[in-house]
Structure 1
Amino acid sequence: MLALGIRRVHSAVDAPRLTKFFLHAPKCVEVEFANGSAFKLSAEFLRINSPAADGRVRSVGGEKVISGRRHVGIMSAELVGNYGVRIIFDDLHKTGIFSWDYFYHLGSNKFSLMRNYIKLLKKHGLSRDLPRRK
């Protein structure tokens, strides 16, 4: 478990101050905020919502889709300045920096974001699982 000391930076998002960040590698991240909100965000959920542009994103019908990440894991997290964390995933994705405000957005909208992601995969005939090797 990784716990980081948190300092607040002003941003355009009206998210409450982050008070706790815990990495439970490889499964999830837990974040807690000053307003009492607490969220447990899975590695898969964070990976598919990475704020970075990723070369492994498929463009299907003009939509960007990341598939096959159900069993992705988190290898580590690195503090970036005093505003966020870079998460390194075991599929070697490491370019996304998750700000404290973005964690609040993800946690607050977790169920609708995941539901929309699953609908998008179904729409394009894709899966949360990796394709089987032949």
Structure 2
Amino acid sequence: MGEHDIKHHPSEIRYVSEDKRLEVTFEDGRHFSLPAELLRVESPSAEVQGHAPSQKQIVPGRRHVGILAIEPVGSYAVRIKFDDLHDTGLYSWDYLYKLGERRDELWQEYLDNLEARGLSRDPPSRR
């Protein structure tokens, strides 16, 4: 994917650490508030997405996940480093836009998938 194929370009990206959310404003005026947890469980990495939709991994226990760093990749994406050490996902501007547009639907799918598998958003307790 080249930078010329990108439909949406952000005018501002800001991480609000106390709320663990990424605020993204696009040039078309759309603004999205994306929780770090959603960004993590919807990571575009092969580790999470697999190589086909049927291989997508459900990632439990990420309620408290935060972001350590956001690194630009060319002029078309960012690499997000999470505090659970996941850092292989490249979030293109269009992917961030899509996550913003579908946030509520994706969040509900995530909750439904966890419930269906008896998994929790909370990390396993350390005993």
Residues 1:54 and 1:63: Cα distance change in structure 2 (over 3 Å)? closer
What is the CA distance between 1:62 and its match in structure 2?
6.1
* Contact 1:25/1:75 (<8 A) preserved: no
What is the CA distance between 1:63 and its match in structure 2?
5.4
The structure with the largest strand share of the pair is 1
Match of 1:131 in 2: 124
Residues 1:23 and 1:62: Cα distance change in structure 2 (over 3 Å)? closer
Match of 1:89 among 82, 90, 107: 82
SS at match of 1:79: strand
Match of 2:11 in 1: 19
SS at match of 2:13: strand
Match of 1:74 among 45, 64, 67: 67
Could you state the TM-score of these two structures normalised by the residue count of structure 1?
0.81
What is the CA distance between 1:68 and its match in structure 2?
0.3
Runs ≥4 residues deviating over 6 A: none
Could you state the TM-score of these two structures normalised by the residue count of structure 2?
0.85
Residues 1:132 and 1:37: Cα distance change in structure 2 (over 3 Å)? same
The structure with the largest helix share of the pair is 2
Match of 2:38 among 12, 32, 45: 45
Structure 2: 5+ residue stretches without partners: none
Q: How many residues are paired up?
A: 121
1:45 is matched by which residue type in structure 2? L
The 2-side partners of 1:81 and 1:132 are apart by 40
Match of 1:29 in 2: 22
Residues 1:63 and 1:100: Cα distance change in structure 2 (over 3 Å)? closer
1:131 is matched by which residue type in structure 2? P
The 2-side partners of 1:35 and 1:62 are apart by 34
What is the CA distance between 1:24 and its match in structure 2?
2.3
Superposed CA RMSD in Å reads: 2.2
Structure 1: 5+ residue stretches without partners: 1-7
Match of 1:110 in 2: 103
* Contact 2:8/2:93 (<8 A) preserved: no
Match of 2:58 in 1: 65
What is the CA distance between 1:115 and its match in structure 2?
0.2
What is the CA distance between 1:64 and its match in structure 2?
1.9
